[in-house]
Structure 1
Amino acid sequence: MRPAFRAPFTAALAFTAALTLTGCMANASPGGAGTPTAGSAATTSASTPPNPSSTAGPSTEGGQPASSAPAPAALVTYTFPDGISFKHPADWRVELFKAAGSPFVGTATVYDAGGAKQATVYTGQIADGVTSPVTRTVFESAPVPGLQGQPAPTAHYSFYVDNVNDIAKYRMHLTAGVPLSGAEMALDGIIRVGDRVLVADVEFIDKPFASDDAAKAWLASAEGQALKALLLSMSQS
């Protein structure tokens, strides 16, 4: 195993410890630390806690893709205090864990209508990343329109699988540029937005797909398309 390489813009998905000591949990609600908005009457609910028995992210059963949320009828926008925003289905909800207010540092956790954790989005001024040797197969990648014009490399939505020692690790998240297929040293996705950093990941359970074909089938499902749309909707005002 090669030694970890620290990303040039320093330290902090190890921000977790600081979050635990100094952060405070706040459900997303109008007028809260993050502001969900919508073009219709749909709003983000923050009154129902996640179902403890349904905290795993996208998963499959018997090798077949499964969706815990129906196709969304409408979208709402969640906005962080620092202006980073994203869209999600109206019947999903967002909880904000705030570590600091000035400058703002926090993590939004996105739950689907059934209470399953689907994605996390971190925004702050520091982030930590390491590289590791992998053999990667990229299924899909596309630039994020709302994050164009930010420092290079350009933010992309990406869905791929990394194979390490015959173990497949599926990832759907924001990447700095287009991830390359083949053997490489892979760096976790850290996006630069002005003088800030952004990290956004879909939360998969261990071994979510029986095969790459099952992963591609899940991507075409309502759940897969909703999470793809969430990542592609990221923007900064």
Structure 2
Amino acid sequence: MICARRVPFIAALAIAAALGLAGCGAAVPEASSGGASPSGTGTPSEPAGPTSAPATAGPTTSGARPPSSAPVSAGVATYTFPDGRLSFKYPAGWRVELFTGAGQPTLSRTATVFDAGGTEQVTVYSGQVADAVSHRVSRTVFESEPVPGLSRQIAPAASYSFYVERMDGSATYRMDLTPGVPAAGDGTRIDGIIQIGDEVLVAEVRFIEKPFASDAAAKLWLAGAEGQALKALLLSISYS
């Protein structure tokens, strides 16, 4: 996981910063598709699209991130947060668990997405607080695209981004939502905090430590089924 010195972050609407995505709260498992969901929790929908021809789990080129233990399904399902406003699509056959923070009403909600093999792949958080970090890095951006479903939120508009940040000879690969397009070269580490309404949103792929041996290996993984599935998930995030 990414470790860094943490400093306070204040959102544009004076949202104080102090959250840990896995803080105190209740975990509510969600079915990957179909079936009834527990009362008061987010809602997964029926999968859409063909499911008869699963893709492979990505390249196995030496140095690439180890692929998922399960194939990526060709179908998709939709997960909607309890507020009915924030949602995203994910591969059919994967599952989503919702974690809620303490307090009534709760100040935080984290949807954790697991693949069919049980590997944690993505976390999508919304709430009134969020962590921020600050340090100097050298950044290489592989690609970045605006997220259509977040285009109406407060600028800078949210983008899906895949990039690497280097500090003191160590490389940290990241795929997450960023406020605008990340700037290449030397700069400050990006705080992937997006403002939605009067709350904040943080969505990121949960890479293991040192997932790729090189930038070339990272690009190979991105072009594979798993990389494309995770990219599509982040680009599908929507808030209405």
Question: Deviation at 1:59?
Answer: 10
Question: C-alpha distance in 2, partners of 1:106/1:176?
Answer: 20
Which structure 2 residues correspond to residues 12-51 of structure 1 after superposition, within 5 A? 12-14=18-20, 16=22, 19-20=23-24, 23-29=25-31, 30-32=36-38, 33-38=41-46, 40=48
Does the 8 A contact of 2:94 with 2:113 survive in 1? yes
- Residue identity opposite 1:6 in structure 2: P
Distance 1:232 1:164, change over 3 A: same
Q: Larger deviation: 123-132 or 90-99? A: 123-132
Distance 1:184 1:97, change over 3 A: same
Question: C-alpha distance in 2, partners of 1:103/1:59?
Answer: 41
Question: C-alpha distance in 1, partners of 2:194/2:26?
Answer: 24
Question: Deviation at 1:187?
Answer: 2.7
Does the 8 A contact of 1:86 with 1:234 survive in 2? yes
What residue in structure 1 maps to residue 146 of structure 2? 143
Counterpart selection for 1:189 from 192, 196, 200: 192
SS in 1 for 2:123: strand
Does the 8 A contact of 1:76 with 1:90 survive in 2? yes
Which structure 2 residues correspond to residues 166-177 of structure 1 after superposition, within 5 A? 166-177=169-180
Does the 8 A contact of 1:28 with 1:94 survive in 2? yes
Question: C-alpha distance in 1, partners of 2:207/2:60?
Answer: 10
Which structure 2 residues correspond to residues 1-237 of structure 1 after superposition, within 5 A? 5-9=7-11, 10-14=16-20, 16=22, 19-20=23-24, 23-29=25-31, 30-32=36-38, 33-38=41-46, 40=48, 62-68=62-68, 69-82=70-83, 83-100=85-102, 102=105, 105-237=108-240
What residue in structure 1 maps to residue 55 of structure 2? none
SS in 2 for 1:218: helix
Question: C-alpha distance in 2, partners of 1:220/1:27?
Answer: 30
SS in 1 for 2:181: coil
SS in 2 for 1:187: coil
Q: Larger deviation: 185-194 or 64-73? A: 64-73
Distance 1:168 1:194, change over 3 A: same
Does the 8 A contact of 1:4 with 1:132 survive in 2? no
What residue in structure 2 maps to residue 47 of structure 1? none
Deviations 1:80-126 (A, max 9, x none): 11221110001100111111552552111111011111011111111
- Residue identity opposite 1:31 in structure 2: S
Question: Deviation at 1:130?
Answer: 1.8
Does the 8 A contact of 2:47 with 2:92 survive in 1? no
Task: Show structure 2 runs of 5+ residues with no match.
Answer: 51-57
Distance 1:146 1:137, change over 3 A: same
Distance 1:194 1:218, change over 3 A: same
Identity score, percent: 55
What residue in structure 2 maps to residue 54 of structure 1? none
Does the 8 A contact of 1:133 with 1:164 survive in 2? yes
Distance 1:59 1:103, change over 3 A: farther
SS in 1 for 2:156: coil
SS in 1 for 2:233: helix
Question: C-alpha distance in 1, partners of 2:117/2:21?
Answer: 28
TM-score, structure 1 length as denominator? 0.84
